Amino acid sequence: MSNNITFIGGGNMARSLIGGMVANGICTSNITVSEPVEILRSQLAADFGIRVTDNNADAIANADCLLVAVKPQVLKEIISPLAEQLCRARPLIISIAAGITEPLLNAWSGDGQSIVRCMPNTPALVQEGATALYANSQVSSEQKQLAEQILSAVGLTLWVEQESQLDAVTAVSGSGPAYFFAFIEAMQAAGEKLGLSAEQAKQLTIQTALGAARMAAESDDEPSVLRAKVTSKGGTTFAALQSFAANDLNGIVDNALCAAHARSIELGKELS
């Protein structure tokens, strides 16, 4: 990749993406980060050998791609002063700011911009992320490839056709890691009540979750088939699954994701 890529914001997600990009062979001389916090700038420069600055206008001067990795609440005040410069240069703009819609970002950045919104999740920090991307009509096929190459450095990427689908993505994968952490926490606590030490329950639960996820990812079978294969009628697994069914596990999960989806829509309206 010979494109010049600029990050505005040098926090955890930017660091993760930069680490993945560098590991995938992207030249460090093509990467610039604008970050107001001096210690973050110094760490990024020391760890990756990239160019750092605290001047946003200077950072985007030669950018082919601008990746905005800041909190949604400050995005307008950061991007609006750059609108004239962005209108001249017309870089691809990639935003990971949750809730800030494409029309809003386009208006703040001068209109007519090529914009990709994406929703990565926190496992991107360990290169096991799941990221959904949405491109507006100004984004070219080459720019879509560039966006995918950048985000795939930290895990799975997939495109959605409608921007509204990002609210569903938020409910499933954006917030999803916390659901699994909560389930792991509950299993660990139950294991301790059954007589295991805290460390034993933790190790067994985490490895079981890891192994099950890997089997689901690598198998040609649907999860329902994998579940059936390890469930003997009248056995221990059957007893546990019957308890889940009696307590309406499917309904609990459905209600939780619907709540997350609704809140994602509300937050988008609030930020707008």
What is the pLDDT at residue 1?
A: 55
Percent of the chain with pLDDT over 70: 100
Given 3-state DSSP classes, what are the helix, strand and coil percentages for the chain, each rounded to the nearest 5?
60, 15, 25
Residue 41 clears pLDDT 80, i.e. is over it: yes
Give the three-state DSSP class for 117.
strand
The rounded distance, in Å, linking the Cα atoms of 152 and 133 is: 11
Residue 2 clears pLDDT 90, i.e. is over it: no
Q: Average pLDDT in the 68-95 region?
A: 95
**Structural element, H or E, at residue 219:** none
Q: Average pLDDT in the 168-186 region?
A: 97
pLDDT digits 0-9 by tens, 128-152: 999 999 999 999 999 999 999 999 9
pTM above 0.85, yes or no: yes
pLDDT digits 0-9 by tens, 81-92: 999 999 999 999
Chain CA centroid to CA 266, Å: 20
Q: Which domains does the chain have, with CATH numbers?
A: 5-166 (3.40.50.720), 176-268 (1.10.3730.10)
What is the pLDDT at residue 270?
A: 87
